[in-house]
Structures are given as structure tokens and as C-alpha cells.
Amino acid sequence: MAFTFSTVPTIISAPGAIARLGELAKSRLGGRILVVTDPGLVRLGIIERGLDSLRKAGVEASVFDKVEADPPEACVMAAIEAARAMDATGIVGLGGGSSLDVAKLAALLAKSPQPLAATYGVGKATGARLPLLLAPTTAGTGSEATAVAVVTTTGADKMGTVSPLLLPDIALLDPELTLGLPPAVTAATGIDAMLHAIEAFTSINPNNNPVSQALAREALRLLGANIRTAVESGSDIAARDAMLNGSLLAGMAFANASVGAVHALAYPLGGHYHLPHGLTNALVMPEVMRFNAPTCAAQYAHLAHIVFDDAPDGDDDRVAAFFIDALAKLSSDLGVPARLRDVNITENALSMLASDAMKQTRLLVNNPRPLTEDDALAIYRRSF
């Protein structure tokens, strides 16, 4: 079997690892670092340990803290300009998936004349990027291990830059950075990570490979065994550590095998309604999986036994149906809204959402079952 597997060259995972940020930055990123994060993390003081480590190492650090969810192009350009203004020698992304994606693009374009819009698509980014370290504060996106950055355009479309140039030099995983996550965020981001693994495992991308599949299985084992504890007992460092590593492994899996229709149908919900990415995936997850089940029942049945101890034996279709229902129940039990109407999406918006979902061609081509605009509309209606 021919395939290519690419991932971040250095992964550091340990409670308290953020205390090493200064040493790592000084040796790998240079002496002038732009830290890309969001105002909430600054307000909560979560980035202070990282900044203190940078100061002790004698590194000049400037903070760009204007990242917002589903970052618009203007936010990305502002981060790029901040990096240029300080003549940054390296970039640190510290936060959730939005902060990490903005950090990737700032590192890519700070020294490049290439316009942001010209990078959208697969393999279109050019030039050399600044050295890059990513430290996630949520266990969900896996962005610290992917070659993708997603931006919201002025028309509310989600556009992705996909290039090996976006893989960071270092992924720094410190579960202590996730201890302050509220239960709702922990739940939605955890479901998101599980979906990364599921969609990577069932992807029909030609590069879906044994390494990605093994990582997806192990990611689901870690996530399925720990998500309830992480949500219900947020100070449990072992559960937080397992979730963070599960998210990383799922990110490594889908970075190579890609995701499919769950993400394609979730993107318009985020672009138009500014809902958190993990939530939008959870909202369409059951109905997209039911749509896909006739094509990948055997794969769903296999995964069911990894995630749920009470998964039944027998017919693949029956076990796959159990898997989908059990995931939907898990999401609901953890307090994640179950229906589009629960997050104030109106029925008259569904046709627009279906039309926009069809623009996500780079994702839809990987879905195990071909999906038309009529299919997308039917899924949104069943999710309503």
C-alpha cells in the first residue's frame, strides 16, 4: 500500500510542560517571539506561566490576544502585521484551535509576500515560515498536529489552507493548561476529537493508511474512556492528560486521512452563527453517521467495541446503529445541545446551510458515501 504520513517532528507531553516554553523558544524559535492567543485566556491568567518562562529565558515576547472563534481574515492579517512589526523570529500559538490556526498563518505569512487568500486550498502555500510552537489549551481540535488552518471569509464561508508548511516544529501538550475548561467546552471539544478519529478511520481519501487508522483507534480508546471523567471531574489531571493525548492522536490521524461530511456540514453553522466548532460537529454527527452507515457499517461496528464496553456483538448494521445512538446519547448526557433548534437556528435557514456545505469539496470527497445538496438538506432537517 502506497501512502505518505506526515506529522509534527517534536511532541512534548507532560503536566507542567509549559514551564519549558522559554528554554524551547530560545533554542528553536529565536529571541523575539509573538505569542498568539485569545482575550479570555489572558483575562484568566492562563498564559502567564508561559510568559514568565519566556521572560526568565531572556526572550523578548509580544502578545497578540485578539483571536476570536472562527477567526475572520481581518484577525489573521492583524496577527501577521503584529509579527512583522516586532520582526518576530518565531511564533507561539497558545489556546484553542482558533488561536493555533491564526498562529500557523502568522508564521507562514509574516515573511512572505503571498496574499492570505492565495493560500486557500490544498498545497497552495509557498515560501518559508517562521519557527512555530503550538500549545493547545483544549482537547479537541488537534490543530497542533495538523497541516490545516481554517479562516472565515467576509462572506461567512470557511476556507482552509492545507500545506505541510503549517505543521509546527513543536507541539507542547500540558494538561494543566486544560484544567480551567468549563464542562460544556470540555464536552464539545471532546466530541469533536472523537469525530476526528471516526471520520479519519472511515475516510475514503487515498492516503487513509494503517498508521492513521491505528492512531484513530487509540485516540478513541483514550477519549471514550476519559471524556465523562474530564467533564464531570475537571480537576482530574489523569483524565485531562488522556483527553489531550487522544485529541493529538486524532489530529495526527485526520491530518493524513482527512475528515468528511460531518465537518463539511458543521462549517456553515460556525461561519454563519459563530457557534463553537465542537458543538457544530456534535449537532450534525448522528444524522451524518446514519447517512454514512450503509457504506461503512463494518467500520462503525469495529469502533463501537473500542469506545463502548456494552457494545453488542453480531450483525454489523445492528452494532453500527448502536454506535451512532450511543454517541448521540453520550453527547446529550454531557450536556451538549442535540438539535439545531436548540441553538436558535431557524428552519428557513436550512436550504442556505445545505448550499454552503456543498462548497466544502476538499472534505466531501473523503466522505464514505457520496452526498448531494439534497442529501445535506435532508440531514439538516433531520437534525433540526
- Where a domain ends, among 118, 143, 177? 177
Instruction: Give the residue carrying C-alpha cell 442535540.
Output: 338
How many structural domains are present in the chain? 2
Q: What is the pLDDT of residue 237?
A: 98
- Where a domain ends, among 177, 199, 232? 177
- Is residue 1 included in any domain, yes or no? no
Q: Domain with 288 in it: what CATH number?
A: 1.20.1090.10
Instruction: Give the residue carrying C-alpha cell 479562516.
Output: 151
Q: Does one domain contain both 158 and 171?
A: yes
For the chain, which ranges sit under pLDDT 50?
none
Q: Does one domain contain both 366 and 233?
A: yes
Cβ–Cβ contacts within 10 Å for residue 76, how many? 25
Q: Domain with 129 in it: what CATH number?
A: 3.40.50.1970
Q: What is the pLDDT of residue 70?
A: 86
DSSP class per residue in 82-98? HHHHTT-SEEEEEESHH
- Is residue 4 included in any domain, yes or no? no
- Is residue 3 included in any domain, yes or no? no
- How many Cα neighbours within 13 Å face the side chain of 295? 15
Q: Does one domain contain both 55 and 151?
A: yes
- Is residue 242 included in any domain, yes or no? yes
Q: Does one domain contain both 172 and 185?
A: no
Q: What is the pLDDT of residue 227?
A: 98
Residues 6+ apart with CB under 8 A from 301: 311, 316, 319, 320, 323
Q: Does one domain contain both 113 and 244?
A: no
- Where a domain ends, among 145, 177, 209? 177
Q: What is the pLDDT of residue 93?
A: 98
Structural domain span for residue 299: 181-383
- Phi-psi map region of 203: left, alpha, beta (phi>0 left; psi -120 to 50 alpha): beta
- Is residue 5 included in any domain, yes or no? no
DSSP class per residue in 248-297? HHHHHHHHHH---HHHHHHHHHHHHH---HHHHHHHHHHHHHHHHHHHHH
- Is residue 282 included in any domain, yes or no? yes
Q: Does one domain contain both 156 and 24?
A: yes
Q: What is the pLDDT of residue 117?
A: 95
Q: What is the pLDDT of residue 271?
A: 87
Q: What is the pLDDT of residue 155?
A: 74
Q: Does one domain contain both 255 and 322?
A: yes
Contact call for residues 41 and 69 (beta carbons, < 8 A): no
